Each structure stands twice: as structure tokens, then as C-alpha cells.
Amino acid sequence: GRVVALVPAAGRGVRLGEQTPKAFVTLAGTSMMRLSVDGLLASGVVDHVVVVAPAELIGAAVGLLPAGVQVVEGGAERIDSVRAGIAAAPDADIYLVHDAARALTPTTLIARVVAELRSGRKAVVPALEVTDTIKTVDILGGVTGTPKRSELRAIQTPQGFDAALLRRAYEAASADDPATDDAGLVERLGERVRTIPGDPLAFKITTQLDLTLARALTAATTK
Ligand code: CTP
Ligand code: MG
């Protein structure tokens, strides 16, 4: 089966607050987008990579990426960008969806997600136990509940899917769907999503604190 990795990289990086869109921000001179793609290619389990970039930076993305990586234009929301990636690679048997912002994701995690799909699972997500207590709140900030922490997981990428299932999930999704990950759309179809152990290094670089950590880790491993 042909494994296609879709890399949403079309976000603005508002929370990071750098001059350039987040996927183009560098760690030790290499863009997050390139680091994420290199990890996917180095995993040895990915046949083709599609990067979804901001419209005005398509050419810049092509210039930063290895030959053979396809680059397509993203949309306003992440869901629009992933949809564009799916459309660009209709021949996939398995899709991995992997945030450009998870630039330090170990290749071993990528390989474990694909191995799980190859063993017959149709939707696989990396998951970590949460360390903070998580509460639900109303719009005024009043606490409305405290879900049991032992039942909560923080979900990472790459998320892996049987290609037909992911296409069906996106066909069923509406434009203003509030799902914050791809598995959420699959769950709505009533299909079972399996978790596997995630990896702390697959953290999403979202804030300046995350960027500081990512740069420190990169400096430590390239010495
Ligand atoms: N993404 C995308 N298209 C969008 C929004 C997000 O391809 N319209 C991508 C981002 O580039 C990122 C991944 O989805 O690699 C996860 O999103 P997030 O961490 O939220 O990145 P941004 O949307 O860029 O950041 P922010 O929400 O702070 O603006
Ligand atoms: Mg975002």
C-alpha cells in the first residue's frame, strides 16, 4: 500500500508571533517544514510527501524542500489545508497527517504509526498522558467540570488512517467543523480510533517557550 504523508504547513503562527509563518521559522538554520519532511523521509515508511503551504510561499517552500516533495496551496483553517493535501494525492492507500510544527518528531514514532496501520488498524493516533489537571469552563471562566485525568490524553501527530476512511471523514465534515484534529472527524463517523504511545519529542511548537525548548534540543543534538 502506498503511504502518503500530508504535512499541513499553511498556518500563520499567530501564537508564536514571529515575522514569518511558523513552518518557515528555523531551528539551527533549518526550517521546521524541512525538519518535519526530513523526518518523514528518514523513517523509511513513507512513499510520498505532500506539503501544504501558504499561497504566497509555495515557491519558497519548493526551494526549501528536497526534490520529489509535492507542494500545494493551503486554506484558511487547518481542515481546509488537509483537505487540499488529500485532493493532491488521491492514489494513497494510507495517509499520515503530520504537523510541520512538530519538527522534532522521532522517526521511530512515525514508523510505529505505520506499523499499526499495516497490522490492520484504520485510524491510529499517538497519545501521551497529561500532567496538568484539565478542567472545563464556561465563557465567564467558571469551572463546569473536572474530567478524570487518568482518562485524558494529549494527542500528537503523525495521525495515520486508512485512506478511504480519511477521505470519507473529510467528505462528511462541514466547512465550519470545530474538530481540532483529523481523528476527530473519523470519530464522528462512528469509527474506532486507536491510540499508541506518543513521544514527548513530538511536541507541537506553538509558543515562544516551545521554540526555546526546540532550539535548545536541536543545539544539544547537533554538537
Ligand atoms: N495549518 C495549516 N493551515 C492552516 C492552519 C494551520 O496547514 N490554515 C498547519 C500549521 O502550519 C501547523 C499545523 O497545521 O503545522 C498545526 O497548527 P498550529 O500549530 O495551530 O499552527 P498555526 O495555525 O500556524 O499557529 P497559530 O494557531 O498559533 O496561528
Ligand atoms: Mg492554528
Whether ligand 1 lies within 6 angstroms of the CB of 97 is answered as no
- The predicted pLDDT at position 223 comes to 60
* Cell numbers describing residue 112: 510505529
What top-level class would CATH report for the domain 3-222? alpha beta
Angle between helices 163-172 and 78-88 (to 10 degrees): 130
Cα–Cα distances (Å) from 199 to 17, 87, 155, in that order, read: 26, 29, 10
Q: What pLDDT, on the 0 to 100 scale, is given for residue 1?
A: 86
Span from the CA of 53 to the centroid of ligand 2 (angstroms): 13
Q: How far is Cα 53 from Cα 150, in angstroms, rounded to an integer?
A: 37
Judge if the beta carbon of residue 182 lies within 6 A of ligand 1: no
**Grid cell digits, residue 55:** 499561497
Domain ranges for the chain, please list them.
3-222
What pLDDT score was predicted for residue 99?
98
Measured from the CB, is residue 18 less than 6 Å from ligand 1?
no
Query: Of all protein residues, whose CA lies closest to atom 1 belonging to ligand 1?
Result: 11
Q: Is the CB of 99 under 6 A from ligand 1?
A: yes
Pick from 134, 181, 188, 136: which is nearest to 158 by CA?
181
pLDDT for 77 equals 94
- In short, whether 83's Cβ falls inside 6 Å of ligand 1 is no
Q: Which atom of ligand 1 is nearest to the CA of 100?
A: 15
Query: Which ligand 1 atom minimizes the distance to the CA of 22?
Result: 24
What is d(CA 66, CA 110) in angstroms, rounded to the nearest whole number?
Answer: 19
Our answer on whether the CB atom of 181 is closer than 6 Å to any ligand 1 atom is no
Q: Is 51 in the pocket of ligand 1 (CB under 6 A)?
A: no
Distance between CA 180 and CA 142 in Å, rounded? Answer: 23
pLDDT values of the chain reduced to their tens digit, one per residue, 223 residues? 899 999 999 999 999 999 999 999 999 999 999 999 999 999 999 999 999 999 999 999 999 999 999 999 999 999 999 999 999 999 999 999 999 999 999 999 999 999 999 999 999 999 999 999 999 999 999 999 999 999 999 999 999 999 999 999 999 998 777 788 999 999 999 999 999 999 999 999 999 999 999 999 999 876 6
Kindly report the protein residue whose alpha carbon is nearest to atom 14 of ligand 1: 8
Distance 99 CA to ligand 1 centre (A): 8
Cβ proximity of 75 and 84 under 8 Å: yes
pLDDT score for 174 = 82
